[in-house]
Structure 1
Amino acid sequence: MFDISPPTNSDKKRVHRDEFWQSFLSAFLKIEECMISNITITIDQMITQLYDEGILVLPANDTVTNCEHHYECARYLVFCALAWQTMLYTPALGIPKNMHGSLMLAIDEDNGCCEYRHMSIQQASHVCSSKSISEFLMGFGVLLPSKNMCLNDGLNVQRQFHEKTDISTGKFNVYLLSAVAGLRIKWVDALVCHLEFISKTREISLFRFPSFCESLLTHYVHDGDRAPIHACPTTSNLRCQWATESEINQLLGEVLLSCRLLFGQTRKSRNAFHSINSYSKKTSSRDKIRDPLLLALCTTNTCLGIYPGPSDKEAYSLLRDFSFIRYRLAILQGHLSNTTSRTWVQLWRDNRLSKLVDVLGSDSIWGV
């Protein structure tokens, strides 16, 4: 049984570590089972099942006030488990409270989630009692956008979104984004942050675990196994801005394909992957976590054996190949196209101008 009350010093000495983690794993697996079996289930209904099956327990002879505190802790536990099982967002560490002392469930902005994409990074815990998982997540904003949706009303962004309908691997890749536009890569743990551009820090957030996407796709298509993330889409036709279950797999596939687009299809971009700060010897052990599929997508000439196999092409259609992350790619593509080479080094690195340089060079020779 998993006692969620804060342990005292004597408790820490009494409870065996293996027993604690076994209880935690039981709670984790039960939450996953609840989400997969019932897409309309609420967080509070999951907690009730955890208590009914004895996975969560309350201390004997506890007061009503403390029981409410334990129940709020259980909500936070489920909230974190939901994040870890779907990889959609990063939960804030600790249990934040509002000015009235009520528990708030919060997303951590410091780990890659861009604030302008969310209506709020916090929600009061009482919303867990009546809202399904999809409705609960909608309280944080559009974490699961639908196809070909522009999330910015700005005229310039709207123009870029509608004008940029295709993307070329020779004119859009990590090498050009870093060497010419001066952008940096930030590896993140949240799917919702994948390919977000943070203009203030000039960083592009990239999801660091593509094998998570491949695993879900393989089990869903080959075995028919649904994952917790398949319980997060909406079932309402009125939620046109939110993805449906049938669209989740395409979104996961686009994450894999975007890694291939950015890194894998040009030699200079493959070399650039090895020099990214997140994989250098000077970074922390946490940032040195290497997903073997990430290495395969970003450093090899071909991607045979990967499901779904990313198809290498010279040009992709944003409307068809990247309909879910089209908005983010259009933003980056517009930023790169508006960037001009300011130094001779940048001009030399900018292979978008190679043909122009060749023409100018030949004209100069004939002129002489």
Structure 2
Amino acid sequence: MQCDKEADWDAQFLPVWNKVKDLVLVPEPKTIDGITDTLVQHDILSVKDNYEAHQSAKELVFSILGWQTMLYKPQTTSCTTGEFNILDETDKHQGEARLRLSQSSVSGKYDLPSFLLGFGMMLPPPQYCAFDDTDDRQLFNVTKQIVAKELNAHILTKICGVKIQWVDSVSCHLELDRQSGSLPWATENDVTELLREVLLSYRLLFGQSGRSRSLFRKLQPFARIPHEGHDPFLPLICGRKDFNCPITLVEREEYDVAGDFPHLRSRIVRLISYASSKKPRSIRQLWQDKRDSTTWLAFWSVLIFGEVLIVFGSRLN
């Protein structure tokens, strides 16, 4: 029975999957409607002049595009035929990558860059500024470096109160706030560079900090996922100090925002701004916050020295 299911999968689904991939790579404008029509013309999909079947075929193409690009997760359980729906991976937060979760069937006629913009800024181009406010845009322009010890998962969670949420879609990575903009269609190099930045950001936020690596192990990102769905790569890149990545990643103590994170620049700047605005509010947070090592050492030296003087003075009296 299992062999029969695998044979059906190979015979029915894989040809559709592979043809969609080939059509997307063709260097000319592409639409979901156009891809669907091509699949029907080549007898890869059969709709038999049935309107609902044709709409379902378009939804299948839409789903395959999401799975192949990892830009979104299609909502495959929707009861509304003809609409293009994506899953909410950010707990109803409408950030720049998720301005809306649904589009009508009419949007299938638009070229893919315009179609994707209907959901939000899923694939930011290099040096894209997502800020509308003048002060925020100025912050974007003046922020040049990232100091690894000042921006990591430990600082964001323990000092800034950020709740880390794991997502499957690349477009939601490092999403923190709501912005929108325009999107040129990405080249193959753009996609490769974005994926490299995502991996490097994992090293920045987790791998380069001992406390952040410990935090990652406590987060248990695969706690509710069956074992076969676990990603063996994530614990390596986030949970180990020394890690041999198949893609060349240059780790630094200080990163150049524009050079090291051109696609994620806006989101990195937003995180830096948010983290720098948060100050310790308790003795425990003061102990955990070592972003300014000189101030941290001076504070605790004075505190400990003062305690010693008080104890010593009380004994003399």
* TM above 0.5: yes
- 2:128 aligned residue: 149
How far apart, in 2, do the equivalents of 1:41 and 1:255 lie? 27
> Secondary structure of 1:147's partner?
coil
How far apart, in 2, do the equivalents of 1:93 and 1:335 lie? 35
- CA 259–110 in structure 1, closer or farther in 2 if over 3 Å, else same: closer
- 1:72 aligned residue: 55
> Secondary structure of 2:259's partner?
coil
How far apart, in 1, do the equivalents of 2:301 and 2:55 lie? 73
Task: Note the aligned Cα RMSD (angstroms).
Answer: 2.8
The answer to whether residue 55 in structure 2 is matched with residue 55 in structure 1 is no
Identity %: 28
- 1:316 aligned residue: 255
Tell me the amino acid that sits aligned with residue 21 of structure 2: E
How far apart, in 1, do the equivalents of 2:154 and 2:249 lie? 20
How far apart, in 1, do the equivalents of 2:259 and 2:92 lie? 26
- 1:291 aligned residue: 231
Which runs of 5 or more residues in structure 2 are unaligned? Answer: 310-317
How far apart, in 2, do the equivalents of 1:81 and 1:169 lie? 37
How far apart, in 2, do the equivalents of 1:256 and 1:113 lie? 25
The answer to whether residue 9 in structure 2 is matched with residue 21 in structure 1 is yes
The structure 2 residue matched to 1:249, chosen from 192, 195, 213, is 192
Tell me the amino acid that sits aligned with residue 70 of structure 1: A
Farther-moved stretch of structure 1 (264-273 vs 108-117) = 108-117
- CA 116–54 in structure 1, closer or farther in 2 if over 3 Å, else same: same
Count of residues in correspondence between the two structures: 300
Task: Give TM-score, length-normalised by structure 1.
Answer: 0.73
How far apart, in 2, do the equivalents of 1:142 and 1:287 lie? 32
The structure 2 residue matched to 1:331, chosen from 263, 270, 294, is 270
Deviation at 1:46, TM superposition (A): 2.0
Give the number of the structure whose residues are more often strand, by fraction: 1
1:1-368 counterparts in 2 under 5 A? Answer: 17-22=5-10, 23-58=12-47, 67-95=50-78, 97=80, 103-110=82-89, 114-117=93-96, 118-129=98-109, 131-197=110-176, 241-242=183-184, 244-245=186-187, 246-279=189-222, 283-285=223-225, 289-307=229-247, 309-363=248-302, 365=305, 368=309
How far apart, in 1, do the equivalents of 2:168 and 2:231 lie? 12
Deviation at 1:127, TM superposition (A): 2.8
Residues 77-105 of structure 1, C-alpha deviations (whole Å, 9 max, x = no match): 000000000000121233454xxxx7221
Which runs of 5 or more residues in structure 1 are unaligned? Answer: 1-15, 200-238
- CA 268–50 in structure 1, closer or farther in 2 if over 3 Å, else same: same
Deviation at 1:311, TM superposition (A): 1.1
- CA 111–58 in structure 1, closer or farther in 2 if over 3 Å, else same: same
